[in-house]
Amino acid sequence: MTAPLSRDFYERPVLEVARELIGCTVECGETAGIVVETEAYHESEPACHAFIGLTPRTRILFGPAGKAYVYRSYGIHALLNAVCEGEGEGAAVLIRALKPVHGLELMRTRRGGLPDEQLCSGPGKLSQALGVTLAHNGTDLARGPIRIRAREPGWGTPGIVAGPRVGISKAIDLDWRFYAAGSRHVSKPLVVKLRSSPRDVRGAREL
């Protein structure tokens, strides 16, 4: 098992972090999964909550990197983000899908006995499966209760595809969604075929 990612991993351009989080492991309690899909958000574009500036809600986004930003979506779901960039700069990576690796039985209990590919194949679903709630907002992702660990070194660099973000109405031109090429655990059927072939990833572990 690798070490939890420290603050300096997150204290970088949010697009870099969004790409590099693919293949890392998110754990919460007895459950864990490998990140297969992310989206980047930055205060400079209107789809980001931080676009409106510093408010009680966006306080976490403008704070130090490496914290969890968890907010309620559509009155129902808790969505998990990792705060990025330097203090005073509002940015975060939304974790959108995981490949379940630990605690699958508990995940099935929480998710209604669905097949493995549907346990964490969406931002609301993975929060439900891992037990992530609003109470985790502002907690440190290196210390827990939610932890994100680095990629397993032996697995190689995963193939990563970029495309438009899901479920937003502003800044839809930005290809700030990233997912593991070929993964069966991403949140949507892949409508758009690979627009560019991923780099040579032969030998990389399938996510």
Partner DNA sequence: CATGGGATTGACT
Partner DNA sequence: GTCAATCCCATGC
Residues of this chain that bind DNA (CB under 7 A): 39, 41, 47-50, 52, 55-58, 61, 69, 71-77, 79, 81, 92, 94, 111-112, 118, 122-125, 128, 134, 165-169, 187
Bridge partners, 70 (sequence order): 80
103 contacts 29 by C-beta, under 8 angstroms: yes
Minimum gap (Å) between residue 190 Cβ and DNA? 15
What's phi and psi for 168, nearest 5 deg?
-115, 160
Q: Of the two residues 168 and 204, which places its CB atom closer to DNA in the complex? A: 168
Alpha carbon distances (Å) from 85 to 62, 101, 111, 176, 195 = 9, 29, 33, 16, 28
Minimum gap (Å) between residue 77 Cβ and DNA? 5
Q: Of the two residues 98 and 161, which places its CB atom closer to DNA in the complex? A: 98
Q: Of the two residues 134 and 194, which places its CB atom closer to DNA in the complex? A: 134
Neighbouring residues of 82: CB distance < 8 A, sequence distance ≥ 6: 10, 17, 21, 66, 67, 68, 69, 92, 93, 95, 141, 148
Minimum gap (Å) between residue 128 Cβ and DNA? 7
Minimum gap (Å) between residue 149 Cβ and DNA? 21
